[in-house]
Each structure stands twice: as C-alpha cells, then as structure tokens.
A and B are shown apart, each in its own frame.
Chain A
Amino acid sequence: MSAQKTEITRCNCGEVQEDELYERLKIIVQSQRTIPGALIPVLQTTQNLFGYLPEKALRIISKELKKPYSEVAGVVGFYSYFSTTPKGKYTIRVCMGTACYVRGGQDVLKALQKELNIGIGGTTPNKKFSLEIGRCFGACGLAPVVMVGDQTFQRVKPTGISEILNSFE
C-alpha cells in the first residue's frame, strides 16, 4: 500500500477547493496537538474531510502532532477503516458480523461485487461507489445490514441490491 499523490481538485463532500481543505486540516491538527491520544480522532476527521487519507495530509499530521511518519502510517495501516486511496462518492459497508453473516450477508456482498463489478476495497470507475466490509454495526436484529454513506438498510436481500443502488444519485 502506498499513499498516492492527491489528484482530486475538488472534494466529494461539496464544492470545496483542495487547498482550503488543507487549511482546515492545519487548524484542526493545531487545535489537537497537545491532547494525548489525538492521532486517531485527527485521522478520522481528516478522512471525513478528504474522503480518504492523502499522503500530504498524513505528512502534515505527523509534523504537527510530532509523531514519526512511520507511526502515523502504522496506525493508518492497522485499522481497516482508514484508507489511503480515494473513495467513491458513497461508501457501501456490508456487515460481516456473526448475525449478518449467518443471515446471508455473504450473499449480499457477492451480489454487490457482481453488480458494481469491483472487489472489497474497490471503487467504481465513475467514482460513485466504494465497497467495504464491516465487523458488526451493532444492529444485529436488522441482519443482514448494509450501510451506504450514513444510511442503513436492513434485512437486505441480494435481489434488492439494484433498487438500493438506484436510489443514490
């Protein structure tokens, strides 16, 4: 895995220029620099800001929080939540927790992979969807669960995939 150079000029969360995002990042990091254990929350905020973790942002975080770059990279690599590659407009997360798994989560995942023609961790060529798996969203009564962006879909069946995907612009 290598942190790619950022190529996007606009963020996918709105119409904000990338330079402005870096300005925002610096303010966020500087406000957190004295707080012990700030690294993970800062990485989360950064990923929300950019949609992923660009190398330039990680370098800024390393410098401002006075953490070796190797340590920042180690934390990013440890948590599957963090990504150093750009994500699609919507991130689809399929729950693979025990309840969702036994109630057909695996079939839903396969159907999504087929429908979108991407693998786990992949992004569609039109940058609309990224596909990930999760470990228990804490909604086992609704199994199997799929999240698209911040919307949750319950008791999803492979046959219901297209309808869900089509509801996103």
Chain B
Amino acid sequence: MTTVYINKQAVEVKEGSTIFDAAAKAGIRIPTLCHVENQIPKGACRVCMVDVEGARSMVASCTSPALEGMKITTNSKNVREARKFVVELLISEHCGECKTCVRNEDCELQQLATEMGIMEIAFPGETLKTFIDDSTAALVRDSGKCIKCRRCMTVCNEIQGVGSLFAQGRGFESKIGPAFDQHLDGVVCVQCGQCAAICPVGAITEKEHIDFVWDAIEDPKKFVVVQTAPAIRAALGECFDYEPGTLVTGKMVSALRLLGFDRVFDTNFAADLTIMEEGTELLTRLKRALVDKQQVALPQFTSCSPGWIKYAEYFYPEILDNISSCKSPQQMFGAVAKTYYAKKTGVDPKDVVVVSVMPCTAKKFECQRPEMNDSGFQDVDYVLTTRELARMIKQSGIEFRNLEDGEMDSPMGSGSGAADIFANTGGVMEAAVRTAYEIVTGRELPVENLHLQPVIGLEGVKKASLKIEGCLPAWSFLEGVELKVGVAHGLGNAKKIIEAMRAGEEFHFIEIMTCPGGCIGGGGQPRFTTNAIREKRIGAIYKEDEGKQLRKSHLNPEVIQIYEEFLKQPLSHLSHELLHTKYFDRN
C-alpha cells in the first residue's frame, strides 16, 4: 500500500494507483473529460490538473502515479485557474451552439464551464470545421463538436475491440474518426453506440427518430403501437432525476399513452416468444447431434443483440451457423404486430406503425436491415432510444414524476420475469435455462430463486454447467448430460469466449450481449453509465423479475395463446417465416 496526502488528508491506496484514483478513494471529485473507468488513462483532456509539492509543474492526475508520501493539492487558486484555462482552450476550438445542441444541459463540457464560472469565450479564434457524418442508420458524428478526449476511441478499440474510430492527423487538424476521413458506413462499425453513450459532448449522438414518431402519431390513418424493451423501465427514471435503479414501469406506460400511442405493448412478450423458439432450437440442435449423430453447429449463440450480430458478420463469419436463427425480440414483435395482431384487431397492416423504445442504437440499424420485412412491410418502423423517449416526454409537457402507474395492453403486453432479465448480462441464458430445464425434466430449475448465479454480474466472461437428470421420456437422450453454458458482455469479452471455444473449450450455449452489463448498459441509455450504475440497473431488473408470479417464458398466457391461435408450435413453418432470419458474411 502507498500513502499519499491529498489536501493534507492521508489516503492509502494500492500500489500502481494514480492520483486520480487516490482522490476518488478519498471522496474528492477531480473533474475530467477523458477518463474511462478501468481503462488505461489517456491524459488527453488535461482537465484533471493537480498540484504536487516539489513537482516542476502541475500534473494530470489521471496519468500520474500516486507515490509514497506525495503531497497533493486538488483545490487551490492555482489549480482552479489551471483547470479553467484548459477548459477555456477546449471551448475556444469547440464549434457548438449550446442552445441548439442535442446535448444542451446534458453536456459535460457545458457543465464544467458552468461549474468553473466561465462566462465568456476567453480565446476567440479559429474553431473546428464541422463535418457531419450521418451515413449510418444509428449514429451521427459532428467533428466540429469533438474535443478529442478519445473516450469513444477507448470504448471502440479497448472495450469493444471493433476499432472503427482512431485519432487521425495531428495538431489542430486532427480528428477522431475512421481511416482517411471515411464515413462510418464505409468501415467496420457495429452501431453499438457505446461511443455515443460515453461522448462528453455532442460529437457522436444517436440518429433521432423523434420527428418520424410524432408525425405517425399525428396521422389519423396510422395505428401506432409501441413496444418497450425491458432495460428501459430500469433506466428511464434517471432522465427524471430518479436514483439509478429505480423501476418506473407503470409511469412509463402512462407516459406512452399520453404521448398518443394507440397501443402500449411490451417487448417482454416477444422475449418470451424468443425463449420458446430459441430454447426449442437449442434442444433440436442437441437432439440432432446426440441422437441423429448429424453434423450440427454447436455451441448455439444467442441472437438478441444486433451489435453482436453485425460484429460476428464482420469478424467471425465462420460461426454464423452457430448463431440462433431467431430474430431479436424487437424484430419478432414487429413481425407479429403486423400479422397476428393486425389480423386479430382488423387493422390493415399497412397502416400499423411499430415503434420500439430500446436501450440500444444498433436496434435502429437492425430494423432497417433489408431482410427484416417478413410481415410484408418493414416489421419495425422506428426505434427510439431511452434518451429520445425522455426527450419526447419532456417535449409534451408531461410531469413524469406525477404520473399514476399504467398497465400494458393485451395480448402483446404481458411478459414473464424471465423476459425482464433479458436486459441483464446472463439474463437470456437464465431465461432459456429456466424453460429448457423444465421442458426436458418436467421439473423447475433446481436453483435458489430460479437464478443461475454463476452467470450473474459484471465479470466479463462467465461460465456455468448444469447436470441434466431425471429427463422425461422424450428427452431421455439428454440424461446425464452436463449442459455447459457461457456468457460474455462487451464485444472484447465476446472475442475472448470465441477464442476459448476455438481453443477447444466445450460449450453448448453461449450468450453474447454487445454492451458492457448487457442491455441495461446499452448505447441508448441515459448518460453517464458507470459500473456502479450498471449494477443498480441490474438489481432493479432482478427485482422486477422476482416480484412477478409469472417467471418462466413458457407459462406466459399470451405466448401460449399466440401458438394456439396463430403460430401452432415453436419452429413451425409460420414461425420460421416470421420469427427467424439469416446472417451475412460482411467480408
């Protein structure tokens, strides 16, 4: 351990800690615009200046090691002026009109400027050139607003391992972006939006669908239905000053009705449907491998996360057959909304507009994939991120905190607890195992509170195994089989588990979620997401699950109903047509 003195207060930290870490441990906040939790500091923004006794000049606390006996001052006139000077220099280049910026009042640079009392542009001069890249379905980049903090570069390269963004050029002319000024759609980008979630300013944002949704709601000919992903209810409250981890399911439903949607449905319904299809698919693959001795692609990978799908299409095209052919819950919902539901209610499917509220930017890309039109129309028309929904609620003058709890509509508004946990890393796996185990053995999954504990939490790669015993006669071929499952979240971890599989480690089923923490940490969630906030959202989701009577997908009465009335059984001809899809090698 090392002892340093921060503002005369002794602080003990582990060797190798930085001054920034030491201050955080002592409860002292040092402002920063470039720091990314648990990543190698870049020292790019220079805002985190502190004074170290005996040092030649002030140092950036994020890149300076805390050394034994160091005397550090984080709050003095000199330090405050140095930090202010740095922020003034950043502002002098920044080409952003706060009043018309989508990040107005949600901008870390603006917040620091306010905090530091910067009331004028200290260094008027040349500002950055604005170059807008709106080439992709999900993200918009504005080079004029970029302060080159490199947070996006860190998440894209070091956490996601995608590598679409990097510092290009040098000096005033430098830009953070794809190679040789290319647009994002010309390079490898999975649209996960982790860059947009971590950008301190308005340099990378989601492509807004708000106006399209308002237009659809205004159009009397359109029947506009909305579905909300499970991760929204555990995070939307943060946009209305609730503590992270506050569930706002009922208020969210009421708000959606007030916004003018004709029906308010739940993606959870489609998540339960996914478990029926994907679980059956897994059991079918296992049967073909174990009984029919056929060549079958195993392990099976989950397919709910569109960033992961695009990542596999770029980086691991040879495992596309291993990925479940199930569409994601969002897309399953769209396909049945424009067929089953339209027919049931007598609405012409061409007039049905399906809007999704997702914690995700890649869902905007996914809904525009050309093959996602099995209903005869684009299955999902528009995707709003959690942040966009919050903006719409604010635009319409709804007092969110004063709303009464509302109920979702039927028959596509009910979801099991198993569907809720789709939002968390490990959740899809747990949901699938809850149902598959019960189908195979006729008994409930024998674990405490139905939780598959080893795959819960923020560990990057998680594994569990489960011995299947006492099978029903139809599934006797699984008797004594040790079911091995793996879970990874964040694409850098996906790579690790795929490499482990290639090195010979045995798995039957692997869940991959694109974003750290799973959907609760998605690229469309309220800013700013830290691991502490991820854990709170994860906790809220498990609470939602545990609070329900219905905690297994195959017992969802609306799911049973859709099979009886429409789809017949999992993997039926109609299911294949509407609920399953194909993937493409992007090389």
A residues touching B (Cβ–Cβ < 8 Å)?
Answer: 1-3, 67-74, 77-78, 84
* Chain A, Cβ-Cβ closest to B177: A70
B residues near A1, Cβ cutoff 8 Å: 180-181
Query: Closest 6 A-B residue pairs measured CB to CB?
Result: A68-B163, A73-B179, A70-B166, A74-B166, A70-B179, A71-B166
Known: A68-B157, A68-B163, A70-B164. A78 touches B169 (CB 8 A): yes
Interfacial chain A residues near B187, Cβ < 8 Å: 69-70
How does the 8 Å CB contact mask read for B162-178 relative to A, with 1 for contact and 0 for none? 11111111100000011
CB<8 Å pairs between A and B, sample of 13: A68-B162, A68-B163, A68-B166, A68-B188, A69-B187, A70-B163, A70-B179, A70-B187, A71-B163, A77-B168, A77-B169, A78-B167, A78-B170
Query: What residue in chain B is nearest A71 (Cβ atoms)?
Result: B166
Q: How far is the CB of B580 from chain A (nearest CB, A)?
A: 33
B178-229 CB contacts (< 8 Å) to partner A: 178-181, 187-188
**How far does the alpha carbon of A24 sit from the alpha carbon of B169 in the complex, in Å?**
28
B180 touches A73 (CB 8 A): yes
Which residues from chain B contact A67 at a C-beta distance below 8 Å?
Answer: 163
User: Closest chain B residue to A3 by CB distance?
Assistant: B180
List 6 additional A-B contacts (Cβ < 8 Å) besides A68-B157, A68-B188, A74-B167: A68-B162, A68-B166, A70-B164, A71-B166, A74-B168, A84-B180
Contact residues in A for B169 (Cβ distance below 8 Å): 77-78
Measured CA separation A52–B140 after assembly (Å)? 33
Contact B157 A71 (CB under 8 A): yes
Which B residues are in CB contact (< 8 Å) with A3? 179-180
CB distance from A19 to the nearest CB of B (A): 22
Residue of A67, A68, A84 with most partner-chain B CB within 10 A: A68
Q: Which chain B positions have C-beta within 8 A of A72?
A: 179
Q: Which of A68, A77, A78, A84 contacts B164 (CB 8 A)?
A: A68
| Residues in A whose Cβ lies below 8 Å from that of B164 | 68, 70
Task: Name A73's contact: one of B157, B162, B166, B188 (CB within 8 Å).
Answer: B166
Per-position contact with A for B246-288: 1 when CB-CB < 8 Å, else 0?
0000000000000000000000000000000000000000000
* Residues on the A chain within 8 Å of B166, using CB: 68, 70-71, 73-74
- Indicate which residue in B165, B177, B180 contacts A2 across the interface (CB closer than 8 Å): B180
A28–B169 CA distance with the chains assembled, in angstroms: 26
B189 to chain A, nearest CB (A): 10
Q: Give Cα A74 to B187, complex, Å.
A: 14
Please give, as numbers and ranges, the residues of chain B lying within 8 Å of A68 by CB-CB distance. Answer: 157, 162-164, 166, 188
Chain A residues, CB < 8 A from B180: 1-3, 73, 77, 84
Contacts of A71 in B (CB 8 A): 157, 163, 166
Which of A68, A70, A74 has most chain B Cβ within 10 Å? A70
Inter-subunit contact B170/A70 (CB<8 Å): no
User: When the two chains form their complex, are residues B163 and A69 in contact, meaning their CB atoms are under 8 A apart?
Assistant: yes
Residues of chain B in range 353-393 having any CB-CB distance to chain A below 8 Å? none
CB distance from A39 to the nearest CB of B (A): 12
Q: Which residues of B contact A77 (CB under 8 A)?
A: 168-170, 180
Residues of B within 8 A of A73 (CB): 166, 168, 178-180
Chain B residue with the shortest CB-CB distance to A1? B180
Cβ A2 vs Cβ B163 within 8 A: no
List of B residues within 8 angstroms of A2 by Cβ: 180-181
Smallest distance from the beta carbon of A64 to chain B beta carbons, Å?
15
Given the complex, which residues of A lie within 8 Å of B168, measured CB to CB? 70, 73-74, 77
Nearest chain B residue, comparing its CB with the CB of A66: B163
Q: Are A70 and B165 in contact (CB under 8 A)?
A: yes
User: In the complex, what's the smallest C-beta–C-beta distance from B179 to chain A, in angstroms?
Assistant: 3
Interface centre among A2, A67, A74 (most CB of B within 10 A): A74
* Residues of B with C-beta under 8 A to A78: 167, 169-170
Point out the residues of chain A lying under 8 angstroms from B177, CB to CB: 70
Distance, CA A98 to CA B157, complexed state (A)? 39
Interchain nearest-CB distance for B255 vs A (Å): 40
Task: Give A67 to B161 CA distance when docked, in angstroms.
Answer: 10
Q: Which residues of A contact B181 (CB under 8 A)?
A: 1-2
Instruction: Please give the distance in Å from A13's CB to the nearest CB on chain B.
Output: 25
Q: Which of A2, A3, A71 has the most CB of B within 10 A?
A: A71
Q: Would B179 and A69 count as touching, CB distance under 8 A?
A: yes
Q: Of all chain B residues, which has the CB nearest A59?
A: B179
Q: How long is the Cα–Cα vector from A78 to B188 in the complex, in angstroms? A: 21
Contacting residues, chain B, for A69 (C-beta < 8 A) = 163, 179, 187-188
Interface centre among B166, B181, B188 (most CB of A within 10 A): B166
Distance between Cα atoms of A140 and B395 in the complex (Å): 66
- Report Cα–Cα, A3/B180, bound state, in Å: 7
Query: How long is the Cα–Cα vector from A78 to B171 in the complex, in angstroms?
Result: 9
CA–CA, A3 and B188, complex, Å: 17
- The smallest beta-carbon distance between A158 and chain B, in angstroms, is 30
How many angstroms between the C-alpha atoms of A70 and B163 in the bound complex?
7
Closest to B171 in A: A78
A84–B157 Cα gap in the complex (Å)?
24
Q: Given the complex of chains A and B, what is the CA–CA distance between A1 and B166 in angstroms?
A: 15
A75: nearest residue on chain B (CB-CB)? B166
Task: Output the residue of B165, B168, B187, B188 with the most chain A CB within 10 A.
Answer: B168
Instruction: Determine which residue in B162, B166, B170, B179 has the highest number of CB atoms from chain A within 10 A of its CB, and name it.
Output: B179
How many Å from the CB of A150 to the closest CB on chain B?
26
Chain A residues, CB < 8 A from B188: 68-69
Q: How far is the CB of B282 from chain A (nearest CB, A)?
A: 32
- Bound-state CA distance A126–B165 (Å) is 37
* Minimum CB distance partner of A55 in chain B: B180
Q: Give Cα A168–Cα B171 distance, bound, in whole angstroms.
A: 36
Please indicate the chain B residues that have their CB under 8 angstroms from the CB of A74 in the complex. 166-168, 179
Taken together as a complex, chains A and B put the C-alpha atoms of A74 and B153 apart, in Å, by: 12
A106 to B162, CA, bound (A): 45
A66 CB → nearest B CB, Å: 10
Complexed CA–CA distance, A74 and B166 (Å): 6
As a 0/1 sequence over residues 228 to 258 of chain B, the CB contacts with chain A under 8 angstroms (1 = contact) are 0000000000000000000000000000000
**Minimal Cβ-Cβ distance residue in A for B189:** A70
A102 vs B201: C-alpha distance when bound (angstroms) = 44
Flag B143-168 by CB within 8 Å of A: 1 or 0 each.
Answer: 00000000000000100001111111
- State the CA gap A2–B183 with chains docked (Å): 12
Nearest-Cβ distance from residue A63 to partner chain B, whole angstroms: 10
A72 to B178, CA, bound (A): 10
